[in-house]
Structure 1
């Protein structure tokens, strides 16, 4: 005969409760930054929603991940603390665990895939962790981390599929709703699902009618696909590397399935635009995953119109060269930076006459590329690519029209 407990649904005995999250907050509060949740007037006007931003990029390690890591470390036994912990991570989980492990005197070992950027390796080692480089992919590094944990007797700390980690991440929503109780919607990035699991658990307990929307990159729709019974690939070079997870967690999937109201996907272009807007408008640097919430508002405006939305800027650890590339690409898409391909005749004064048109239109020339040999034009013809800086798309249109009026064959080199 089945017992009453056996007939209950999984969410009737949740792995994480709001009580766990409140206790986690009491535990970690003295050692983390209670980051501000601020209203963005400009982003609200731009998106048609009432936007509130939680600046988790202001944590010491520049990411929310240290909340869960610290909560886990503080619950270890003295014997476990003495043995030390290990994790597989190429990013924010590694730094959060390393930083707080050093503070607490707990030895930390991190296994990273060999292609991990040097800056992330150095930052993790800078917090006192031992870094082991292994494998080409995260899955390889994680499998090796389990092996090392068994060999050395270390405690494995999973980046998301652990109740203590989830409870720690849930403190983000706890603070947001305490600071801004009028929030009625949360748009939360999803990688493995630790953040949305914790935030949904806290939010639904405090406000059962609150709308919880997960956000995944189109290139890594793992939670979206599993939730909707779809077979979608999870691969590619995404700007949102912090949520580039191929397989959602077992615990996190159950929580997301029970508590998340929706999951939406965002393109790479949406992520780039959101990251650029946050820097230009809010003067704050976020990584790709940190821009996912705003990207969802840009990609699905009808889903969020008129709502009081809380967005978590999950982290700010982005490679400076990548950041520069994203900003330049955004300038190009907005028409403020352009490359024009112009067909000329190879004769004296040809380039001067073209430059004269740029001068007349008050357009700044940045670079000029001449091509005489590798072209399909006749021997006396040449192609010139000119990179230039304009005020806006209208200014660029006027330049192109002026060049055409002078008889030049001109085309724009477009971005993907």
Structure 2
């Protein structure tokens, strides 16, 4: 039995709370992409919803709980996607939502947070600076602080992806690794229901803190993060999340920026999907180690498509698939 903070009964119950618009997302085999990568490739499309990422699964749980408790306000730090999801779920339930983000976050993500009616506070520095400010806001206003990956609802909401993945026979699931909510949630369900499925987490070399921590089996922090995959660019792994990850993941790998860009281009060319860099991490992992995945059925979770189009055109326009 896996020793983690997650619970399978709660994950099943989550499906009754999460708005169906976030559930049962498309999953299909992409033969054109697979022929380029040398393996059978399926994509799990977590972008086909109102916030264009998987984060709505977790924020639906959080805001439902807050409503039951009679709470009226919530604050989070976000690289962009969590803020959008919390704004969407909070507005639906009449909650006042504050999102703290870095000025460096993609403009497209910040604009969508504003459009969803949240109060957006910008800080200088990176996501970790935003997280510190969110803690202060929560304390000053005496409101709920939502901490992605640390708050179990974010992990168990994401874990419902695993319930859907477990319905199809696959060999390997590739999951973008940032704070760890999706990796621990999906990994927990797969290892509980389909233990033979290999769970591999993927992170950029420019933001390696959680991957290094996984291999060292202790928290490793970094002084900076330098990657176009802003959604996974954390520097301070959360100890409790690392413990969960160690229990449910088979491996964690790092990929180059050039492979992330090539993955984005391949997803556009062979699947018609415009994705943000974090969503191309799975394809990047196969590009960098084709022999490892040869002959296997690989699923890549396409976790987000909130991308600044000017930046996207610069990236995909300068890369050629390997």
Matched with 2:124 is 135
2:12 matched residue in structure 1: 22
- Give, in whole Å, the separation in 2 of the partners of 1:114 and 1:186: 33
8 Å Cα contact 1:185/1:309 also seen in 2: yes
Separation of aligned partners in 2, 1:117 and 1:291: 17
| DSSP-derived class of the 1:133 partner | strand
Contact 1:234/1:245, CA 8 A, preserved across alignment: no
Deviation for aligned residue 1:120: 2.4
Following superposition, the deviation at residue 134 of structure 1 comes to 2.4
Which is further off, 137-146 or 95-104?
Answer: 137-146
- Hey, what does 1:309 align to over in structure 2? 298
Radius of gyration: which is bigger? 1
1:85 Cα offset (Å): 0.5
Residue of structure 1 equivalent to 2:208: 221
What is the DSSP-based 3-state SS (H/G/I as helix, E as strand, rest coil) of the residue aligned with 2:18? helix
Select 2:58's aligned residue among 47, 50, 68: 68
Structure with more contact order per residue of length (Cα contacts < 8 Å, sep ≥ 6)? 2
Kept in 1: contact 2:102–2:130 (CA 8 A): yes
SS at the partner of 1:235?
coil
Q: Aligned with 2:254: secondary structure?
A: strand
Partner deviation per Cα, 1:336-369 (whole Å, 9 max, x = no partner): xxxxxxxxxxxxxxxxxxxxxxxxxxxxxxxxxx
| Runs of 4+ deviating beyond 4 Å | 230-234
Number of residue pairs matched by the alignment: 320
Which residue among 92, 98, 102 is the counterpart of 1:109? 98
Maintained 8 Å contact 1:64/1:169: yes
Q: Find the counterpart in structure 1 of residue 257 from structure 2.
A: 268
The answer for the alignment partner of 1:286 in structure 2 is 275
Tell me which residue corresponds to 1:166.
Answer: 155
State yes or no: 1:100 paired with 2:98: no
1:232 CA displacement: 7.8
What SS does structure 2 have at the residue aligned with 1:59? coil
Change in Cα spacing, 1:234 to 1:313, as seen in structure 2 (3 Å) is farther
Give the corresponding residue for 2:77: 88
TM-score, L = length of structure 1? 0.73
Of 32, 46, 54 in structure 1, the residue corresponding to residue 22 of structure 2 is: 32
Give the one of 183, 186, 190 matched to 1:196: 183
Give the aligned partner of residue 197 of structure 2.
210
